[in-house]
A and B are shown apart, each in its own frame.
Chain A
Amino acid sequence: MSPMLKKAITVSIPSVRQALARSNPVLANALLAKRTYNSKGGVEMTVRDALNSALEEEMTADEKVYLLGEEVGQYNGAYKVSKGLLDKFGPKRVIDTPITESGFCGLAVGSAFAGLKPVCEFMTWNFAMQAIDQIVNSAAKTHYMSGGNVNCPITFRGPNGAAAGVAAQHSQCFAAWYGSVPGLKVVSPWNSEDAKGLLKAAIRDPNPVVVLENELMYGISFPMSEAALSKDFVIEIGKAKIEKEGTDVTIVAHSRSVGFALEAAMLLEKEGICSAEVINLRSIRPLDTETIIKSVKKTNRLVTVEGGWPQYGVGSEICAQIMESEAFDHLDAPVVRVTGADVPTPYAQNLEAFAFPDTDVIARVVKRTLNKKIGA
């Protein structure tokens, strides 16, 4: 590691930190990962490898599980998530599709109706808009419309949300859209354990499950616990994880935002400002409101963080559910949302950085929340 980088880690000057994060978000997250509150374990694994293990293990365990998508086979995956799978399982079970999302998603759903367990990869979730009719109208609703007669044990997965410098059509977060659909389950892993446990759970779940990964997280390493390395490691869909306990404010985030939230929490603690509790949602639908409510009752303040657009988003939903719950009476300040900006994602680096929340934005908002009092 270069001396300049070393200095950057140890110095808690926001502007240097910011500069580092903006110049190399991948590296920033990696540095962060070293100091995060993951399960203690001896082995480190990238999110990519964790997903790969999950796929490999589930395909080994059940012959009906197969993977299809663009470049998943011979190319070893556009982001190398399916590396080695074609070699191991052959072309019957790892299928390279033409660039026809609507068609191959429909085909995958039909095969699920007929008894298989497809894992349908979208190169990014942006492209799944071409197939969203099949995901919502065919996959999500059919079990209900058929009075329980038809099952759809399919897993849809792919990178979601912000990447780096890919502009508006390739940077949208779909958590809110899919999270609103009854009949789907939606998960959004942050670290490697999340990725492995949630993908395995998704494949085993007899319902259609949407797995929203994040491209910028693929290359980041995290320690994996003994349990997480097991072939049978699954994370319960619908259960959030408290990544860091705290007493003064609750920060709820999902996916990449969890990393920034944790860094903000550490920064605030170091500066002696507050002790923040950070919750990693892990699942978007069902939303673990129980964990959030319990935390709010303890801390009395809540800040939500997400990469998606603000209107009608995940944070909006959390605000609504908190308001309608017993947690409302425990709030000492209004809930505040930190979200992606309400613009199509720009390309220029400085503009793009302004479009997505980072550590400093979160820290600033948390500080502001701490200063608020009800009625003030």
Chain B
Amino acid sequence: MAMVTIRRIETAADTLYKSQLIRGFCHLSTGQEAVGVGLETALTQEDKVITAYRSHGFTYLRKGSILPIVAELLGRKIGISGGKGGSMHMFTPNFFGGNGIVGAQVPLGAGIAFAQKYLGMKAATFVFYGDGAANQGQVFEAFNMAKLWELPAVFVCENNQYGMGTSAARSSANTDYYKRGDYIPGIKVNGMDVLAVHQAIAYAREWALTEHKGPLLLEMETYRYRGHSVSDPGVSYRSREEIQKVRSENDPITHLRERLLEAQILSEAELKDMEKAAKAEVDKTVKEAEESEQPDMKTFWTDVYVKGTEVPFLRGREPQETHFYRK
């Protein structure tokens, strides 16, 4: 149900972007739903997650509600970041975004794990990055410190085969991303199978916290049907046949459906009802979000600094648009 919801959110986002209600960047995770869902089912609320910008699904799973996410995409007041972040900058108490600079989230994630260890928490941080980010220097800097200081960080490479328009083979001298951790052991996981993802995450969590008390690397082999972002048709660097093949033979939602039917856990009718309900909920929420207000102008000036600790004033576009925080 979660996967269907995410897929529906992403589809809705695509439509909204095309009607220009969503602006800027919009990176959809259609096809990659199993990764986020398998992850969330294996985590506690104390565990933390951080990823880059293909993050709508993760945000939904860690927050649990659709409205603030869609509202944020539309730049509305009730958006999860008050309309001030947009697609790439959504956060929850146990989810640290939503980060726009490729690779920067990896040292940040190591830092979150550092804090967990420092504070004596029995929790781990799951640090996501893509095949495109896997060659960033700072990723290896983070690996080094995580291993050196035995941080409870599980690094997860979400390999969807393409870094924007560049295939893995064209960007990476070594495409076995699970091996790139060198002194950090790695496991390759079928990212299109939600149960495999769940098992891998559960195992990794146990490894990081109890067994080995240190970092682990997971590579989730997955695929995105859409382009890098909504403005990328996604077919200039790969064939439509390739996309179709994955969609028909390796779709994560289809996989789970088949499994549930085979094991007779749910019937076809029940599945259809669940899917219908998920889609209806998303559609209803999207409508509610579309009807909601834009942020109040005063929020233009809030949160530059922590409330109560602001600077005396900040300039606007011209001297007369200066905003004073204290009289």
Contacts and interface: CB of A to CB of B under 8 A. Distances in A.
Contact of B305 (A100, A111, A143, A290): A143
A113 B118 contact: no
Contact of B141 (A100, A109, A113, A114): A100
Contacts of B115: 110-111, 114-116
A212 B148 CA distance: 30
B89 A146 contact: yes
Interface stretch (A3-11, A133-141, A355-363): A133-141
A320 to B, nearest CB: 10
A92 interface: yes
Interface in A232-264: 238
B104 interface: yes
A182 B310 CA distance: 11
Given A145-B81, A147-B82, A133 B101 contact: yes
Interface stretch (B105-113, B194-202, B208-216, B286-294): B105-113
Interface in A158-182: 182
B304 A114 contact: no
Contacts of A18: none
Contacts of A111: 111-112, 114-115, 118
Contacts of A66: 118
Contacts of B101: 133, 137-138
Contact of A147 (B79, B118, B137, B145): B79
A143 B314 contact: no
Contact of B142 (A106, A144, A149): A106
What size tier do the contact residues of chain B reach? Answer: 35 or more
Interface centre among A66, A105, A114, A286 (most CB of B within 10 A): A114
Interface centre among B80, B110, B305 (most CB of A within 10 A): B305
B96 interface: yes
A114 B82 contact: no
A150 B90 CA distance: 10
Interface centre among B107, B304, B314 (most CB of A within 10 A): B107
Interface in B133-192: 137-138, 140-142, 144-145, 148-149
B297 interface: no
What size tier do the contact residues of chain A reach? Answer: 35 or more
Contacts, number: 156
A102 interface: yes
Contacts of B145: 97-98, 100, 103-104, 107
Nearest to B119: A115
Given A133-B104, A145-B85, A147-B83, A107 B304 contact: no
Interface in A117-151: 133-134, 137-138, 142-151
Contacts of A72: none
A207 interface: yes
A332 interface: no
A258 B144 CA distance: 42
A238 B100 contact: no
Given A113-B112, A149-B92, A238-B312, 12 more contacts: A100-B141, A104-B141, A106-B104, A107-B110, A109-B107, A109-B111, A110-B115, A111-B111, A146-B303, A147-B85, A148-B302, A149-B80
Interface of A: 66, 92, 95, 97-98, 100, 102-116, 133-134, 137-138, 142-151, 182-183, 185, 205-207, 238, 285-286, 290, 324
Interface of B: 48, 50, 79-85, 89-92, 96-97, 99-101, 104, 106-112, 114-116, 118-119, 137-138, 140-142, 144-145, 148-149, 299, 302-307, 309, 311-314, 319
24 contacts: A98-B141, A98-B148, A100-B144, A102-B141, A103-B141, A103-B145, A104-B107, A107-B114, A111-B111, A111-B115, A113-B108, A114-B48, A114-B111, A134-B104, A138-B99, A138-B101, A143-B306, A144-B304, A147-B82, A148-B307, A149-B92, A205-B309, A206-B306, A207-B309
